[in-house]
Every structure is written in C-alpha cells, then in structure tokens.
Structure 1
Amino acid sequence: MAEATGYDLLLKGGRVICPSTGVDGVRDVAIKNGKVAAIEEAIIPSSAAEVINVAGKLVLPGLIDTHGHIYQYVTGRFGLDPDMVGVRSGVTTVVDQGGPSCMTLPGFRKFIAERSETNVLCFLSAYLVGGLEGHFYPNLYSPDGVDIEATTRSANANKDIVRGIKGHAEIGGFARWGIRVMEMAAEIARRVDLPLYVHFGQLWGLPESGANGEDADTILQRVIPLLKEGDVLAHPFTRHPGGFVNREGEVHHVIQAALDRGLKVDVGHGSHFSYRLARAALAAGVIPHTLGADMHGYNTQVPEIPVPAGTPEEHEDDENHPFKGQARFSLTQAMSSMMTLGLPLEQVVPMVTSNPAKMLGMSDTLGALAVGRSADVSVLDDVRGRFILRDNEDHRVVAERLLQPAFCLRAGKRFDADSPILPQAIAA
C-alpha cells in the first residue's frame, strides 16, 4: 500500500498527448481520489499503490464520442448499451445524438445517464418521438411532431446533460415536408443557446430526389443560412445523397463560407462513411472538427433486439433501408481512418478530446489531462503494420497504423476495452 500521501495509480512511460495543455511527450500520470494528481517526466513508482506500465502506448484525455445511439430499448434496435459504446470501448464520454426527446428525457436521465459508468450526455431531438426507428415510421417526423415550446423548456431545465439539439436535413423529409422541420429545429437551438447538430445525407429512404420537385443537392445551400456559429454539420463523408459532395463529385460551394462563419463539421462515421468521398472533401479543405463513431444496433453486428409484435414483416429485411452493407468500426478505428486519409495523429487527437469539449461548452471539465481534473483517461495501443480498413461502399484501404483501445479510466476507475462491438484487426 502507498502511504496516505501517495498516489492510488500511476500510468508510467506512455506518450501523453493533451492538445489543451500543449503536452506531447513521454510522461508519467498519477491518479489520486479519482483525479489527476501529477503529470511529470518521471514519478517514483513506489509513490503509488498500483503502477501500470504504458510504455509505447498513447495516453490521451478521455475520448469523447460526439455521436452515439445509447438510449437502449427505447429507441428500438438503434439503442446500444452505453458502456459497450463507452468505457468498454476505451471512450469515457458518449453524446447520444437525438435519442431522447422532451417526452422521453426523464427516462434517459434515470435509466441511462445515471446508471452508466460512462459519462453520458445528449443532444435532444427536435422531434417529440426522439430517435425511434424513423426509417420505418417517417410520418412521426413531420412538422406536426415538433413542439418548439415544450422542447425549449425541457432543454433549458436539463442543461447538465442536454448539450445541444439534433435535427435532420435529408431528402426523405424534404420531399415530404420541405424545410419546415429544419426551421423549427433551428429555432429551438437559438432559443436555448445550444448548438444544433444537423444530419445531412439520405436517411428515411423514399421519396428520393425528384419527388415533389425536391433535389438532394440543394438541401445544404437552403439549410446553412438557418444555422448559427457553433452549429454542427454532420456526415461530411456520407455515401448517401444530400451530403457535402454533390452528384457530380464536387464539394458544395457553400461549405467553405459556412466554415468561415463558425459552423463546425463532425464526421459521424456510422453507416455513412465513404473513403472516396472523404478524399474529395479533404482535398477541398473540409477538415472535421470532431469525430463521432455513430454506432448503433444496425451497424455493430451484435444480436439485434427482436422486432416488436405487429411490426410489418418486410421491415426486418428491408433492402432499401440506409443501414445495409455497413462495415464494422469504432471511435478509435474512425481515428485510424482519418490517419489513413493523411491527417496526422496530432491533428486527429483534438477531434476526440479538446474540440468536442469546446463544442459541448465543457472545456472546463472535459477534454484535457490536467492536475485537479477528473481522471478521465484513454490509453490506446498504436499498432504498426499493414491492416485492411473497409468503408460502407465496400472500398478497402491499407492502413499502416491502427489505433486500438487498451483501457480507460473514468473518474480514476479502470475499464478494460473488452466491448464485443470492437472491430478486430485484419492484416493486409
């Protein structure tokens, strides 16, 4: 046992990267009473009750996944166990994107946020029904399903866990209802003074471009003027119509102007990610600010929740729904994809630490390794070799560097990266 003045845990010899504090080098990190007690070039091992040798590993501020679907059961087959996505995948904070609504937020707080080992936050759905399986029941997402006053009240009363609003700008909704639902979502976000996170790319299937005179390639230029500084454009590398890259393979001209006036970009990997379109967007200067995994029950290859009684049988195997053909992935593998596309590690780490903390308005508590802060730490293996990564168009690339979670500390408590949804390395 260490003396009363000693540390509970010492992470020894890892490469510490903390964009917020500017640290990048081999350091020892000491933990005491669930907080970071010291970060130094060398700390005597005998000063700690437990020492973990992390030489050769990356020691990062606790990873923040900006795009999760963790309202388990309530959101049908979308919702995953929050700790499977979070601490058991090496991630200490997960933001549920649009699972809870003003109607269902109390249950999210009670049964998800309060019971999880992972630090759980959310972007509140602009829709009363929240993140149900909308590709089955799109009529739930019409303007009649939005209550600006009720959602505003709910968000304002729960800002400890509600850190933004979620809206959808996609061709299925536009062809049915036009831009009205996006106008309502933007109004909610303005009233509560929180960022609006906007899904781009087809989501609810038919109707497609051309229905009711709508063109997927015009959605971005119509939605962006509704948005304010700090709002988030999601899925820049989507393979679906209505994303950053139009049908001619060109990045929309409105994107750069949007970035110049303070809008942000979140990768939202999920079932949307395309290496082909990512290369086009990156070449045009679209560098993501944040990186969310967007894992859910349709794209993690774990046993699905049974289809509820009364659900039309064809929904089970609907070949038209947008989540078919996905590759298996994780937040750390999404980081690896960014590096394979040419972004250096030093540019990718802020996307999952300091940048999302700023997006959430929580830079004072999240996204940094600093003495006195809660000991949220992610330890990753930085594996060198040749590995095959596959996107959702079944395009394959060879990565020479693969980041894999080893374990994390959440408020000083250790969790091994043993989640069954983590992808396995495939040698090239």
Structure 2
Amino acid sequence: MKHCVLFFLGMTLGIPLFGQEFDLLIQNAYLIDARNARQDTLDLGMANGKIAQVAPSIDPSRAKKVIDASGLILCPGLIDTHTHVFVGSKARTFADGFSSVSPDDFSFRSGVTTVVDAGTSGWRNFETFKKNVIDASQTRVLAFLNIAGSGMSGNPSQENLEDMDAEMAVKMIQKYPDHLVGIKIGHYTGEEWLPFDRALLAAETAKKPLLVECHLPQYTLAEQLEKMRPGDILTHSFEEIDERMPIVDEKGRLRPFVQTAYERGIIFDVGHGGAGFWFSQAIPALRQGLVPHTFGTDLHRFSMNAGMKNILNVMSKFIAMGMETEEVIKRASWQAAQAIQRPDLGHLSEGAVADLALLKLHEGEFGFVDAAGNRIAGKYKLEAELTMKGGKVVYDLNGLTAKTYNENMLWIDEK
C-alpha cells in the first residue's frame, strides 16, 4: 500500500521514482538509423548522456521524463561536413574573421550536433581556432586542416607556396587527432600542382581524407578527380561557375570521368554555399544515379541567408528532387560520419553518445532556390523540433521537454 501511494504521488508531482534508469524516454517516433538498418516506430531511452535502449516499446515508468514524439522523425544528430566557423574580429576574411560564423548560432536549430570546418585554419593558426571557437562551443567542432599555413586568410598569404608545408600539417593532425579529420586544398589560382600535391602528401601521410574545394580554376575537374583517392572528398559537386567544373555537360549528360570517379569511391559532397549548388547540375546528375554522399552546406556569413539557408533546407531540396527522406537523413548522419572517419558518431546504437534530433516533415507548398536564383517547388520540408547533444537538450522548438505551465498555481499576495 505504501508503494502504491508513493507511486501515485510521484506520477502526480513528477518526482523520480525508485531510481529510474532512463533520464529521458522518447516514445512513438519514426526512428531512422542507417548504421543499424532501423526504419520503424520505436522507443529510445537515454541515461548518463548515452543511448541506453532502443526497442518497440519501453515502459514509461522506467524514465524520469517521457516525450511523446508521435508524428516526428527521430534520427542521429546531423553532421554538417562543410562549414566555416573560425569566426573572429578580422574583416573580409574567413580565418579568425567576420566572414565565418559562430557554430552554436546555427547548428542546433537545424538538428546538427557536429560541424566540420572546411579548412578555414591551417597549421599556423589552428590552435587559435581551437582555443577561441572549438573549446568555447557547445557544438562538436571538427576540422579539415588547410594545406595553406594560415588557412583561408585571403591573398597573398593563402597562396604562399612556401607556407604549404605537408610535414607541419601532419604534425598538427597528430597533435590533435580528435579534432582534425583531414586535409583541405582550395582557393588557389596559380598554375602549379605543388599545392595539390603537398595536400595529397599530407593526407596520405596522416591517413586522412583530402577535401578538394574546387576553387582551383587552373586545374580541370578531370585532372583533380584523377589525382584523388577513394575516400577523398569533392565538395561543391553541383557547381556551375567555371566551364572546367560542371559534372554534367551542356546536354545534361553525366561526364564519363565523373561517373568513373564516383564508382571508384570518390565522395561527392554538396557544399551548397552561396554559389556552389545549381539545379542544372544536381537534377540531371541525380536522375543518372549520382547521389551526393554528404550534405555539407558551406555555411558562412554569405550563404546562410541566400539559397542555402541551413542543412535541413538543403536536405529538403533533394527530397523535392526525388530522394527519399530516409536516404537524405542517412547521408547527413551515418554516411557523413564514415566520410570523416568518425564511426562513433551518426548512429543510435545502444551505448553511443546521445546526439540526436527530432525532425518534423511538414507537408505543404514550399519553394527551394539554387545559387543561380532558380526555384523549384516541393511538397515536403524538414524542420528541427528538438536537438540533443550528449543527452542534453540544446534546442527545443515547441517545448517538448519543458514543464507545462499551471496558471492555477497559488500566488503570494504581497500586500
């Protein structure tokens, strides 16, 4: 009888009972977890920042807090594989500059728990980036290290061949293996192959992927892809600015060397940005089987309010072009984790860190815009309802985890 009374009081007042094993239980969500091949309505319990159990039905009395997520998608915290977040006070530059953005301002509200900085820093200034941004952010910030010593610091420093030191880059990766996921080459306008070759050498030595940001106008895309290894990443895959870059020709046919690279294991990242994504490339490529492996946004000051907006808008864009929702989530979570060699992320396995997102797939009439100002219509759009990192709520759009306000509560008369 005593236990029954305690149970009734606990359920009424919201008091944890008998040391419940879950800190939070999410029920009735449509769970998408590519690593474990799960696409079904399932419950998920969390404890001590980890995923404790995933099952068709979990008793709510085992949890301190319960969320009914009916009608929502539960997925791993998304991974944005292309961002520029080395924000600082320097004007007109990305490295330690005003052209980058603070990760926490944009990550969680988009279901993102991990961002990967795309070579904004180099071996000379990565430690400044780590101290000022990475260590100060709630978002997990990983990074590709630019082969240019000072990263994206503008010309002439970012094109200084003497500062493109493969040995120093490798030493920095070895010093910070938990933060640095690879080497980046890009934003070089000279004719020498030296920057590319040194970046490739550094990546090979460190046993990490090479990120090729194809702002390399003196090299053809065919030449770049030929040099790249399986597992290396091409970003801005659907760009149509320079005639050397497009992956489909003027008749909309996928170029044979692109198909060969795709089949050889080169990873194609979206890298939308302000100018890196065109429907004239993406739509015919998608129809011919070239599906992007990852959904890097190229988030920075100039792209966030243009056609790109955020990772969920980019993912929704591909749903509008014909991809299944499960497929875009797979590429923004588990496939992204594999691309950056972080198998500890991007999945909802029991024992994994509790990085997750609850997404709402809205149905209606929506418009999506590319870098050229072209618009397509779509019936579905993803929106983040809740984001958790390490088991902690970091974004809650509609207060799913908040207490219900009781307007009948007693007030003290100050008189």
- Common fold by TM > 0.5: yes
**Alignment partner of 2:204 out of 167, 174, 190:** 190
Residue type of the alignment partner of 2:191 = W
- Aligned residue number for residue 145 of structure 2: 124
CA RMSD of aligned residues (A): 1.9
Q: How does 1:20-419 map to 2 (within 5 A)?
A: 20-73=35-88, 74-132=95-153, 134=154, 137-138=155-156, 140-168=158-186, 173-174=188-189, 176-201=190-215, 214=218, 219-241=220-242, 242-245=244-247, 248=250, 249-271=252-274, 272-301=276-305, 326-363=306-343, 365-416=344-395
Residue type of the alignment partner of 1:293 = T
Distance 1:159 1:184, change over 3 A: same
Native 8 Å contact 1:196 1:231 kept in 2: yes
How far did residue 87 of structure 1 move?
2.1
Residue type of the alignment partner of 1:332 = L
Aligned mates of 2:389, 2:142 — CA distance in 1: 15
Q: 1:226-262, CA deviations, whole angstroms, 9 ceiling, x for partnerless residues?
A: 2212101111111321423366354332112112222
SS at match of 2:239: coil
Aligned mates of 1:286, 1:78 — CA distance in 2: 31
SS at match of 2:238: coil
- Compare CA radii of gyration and give the structure with the larger one: 2
How far did residue 139 of structure 1 move?
5.6
- Aligned residue number for residue 308 of structure 1: none
Aligned mates of 2:359, 2:46 — CA distance in 1: 18
Residue type of the alignment partner of 1:180 = L
Distance 1:295 1:349, change over 3 A: same
SS at match of 2:330: helix
Native 8 Å contact 2:239 2:277 kept in 1: yes
Structure 2 unmatched runs, 5+? 1-14, 89-94, 398-415
SS at match of 2:362: strand
Residue type of the alignment partner of 2:246 = F
Aligned mates of 2:362, 2:71 — CA distance in 1: 9
Native 8 Å contact 2:269 2:292 kept in 1: yes
- Which portions of structure 1, spanning 4 or more consecutive aligned residues, are displaced by more than 4 angstroms? none
Count residues in correspondence. 373
- Aligned residue number for residue 321 of structure 1: none
- Aligned residue number for residue 402 of structure 2: none
Distance 1:281 1:178, change over 3 A: farther
- Aligned residue number for residue 319 of structure 1: none
Distance 1:290 1:328, change over 3 A: closer
Residue type of the alignment partner of 1:366 = L
Native 8 Å contact 1:87 1:117 kept in 2: no
Aligned mates of 1:254, 1:247 — CA distance in 2: 12
SS at match of 1:49: coil
TM-score when normalising by structure 2 = 0.85
Aligned mates of 1:142, 1:286 — CA distance in 2: 35
Native 8 Å contact 2:297 2:308 kept in 1: no
Residue type of the alignment partner of 1:6 = E
Identity, % of aligned positions: 29
Structure 1 unmatched runs, 5+? 203-208, 302-325, 419-428
Native 8 Å contact 1:142 1:181 kept in 2: no
- Aligned residue number for residue 10 of structure 2: none
SS at match of 2:230: coil
How far did residue 143 of structure 1 move?
2.1
Aligned mates of 1:388, 1:94 — CA distance in 2: 26
Distance 1:201 1:126, change over 3 A: closer
Q: Greater RCO between the two (CA within 8 Å, min separation 6)?
A: 1
- Aligned residue number for residue 304 of structure 1: none
Aligned mates of 1:328, 1:231 — CA distance in 2: 24
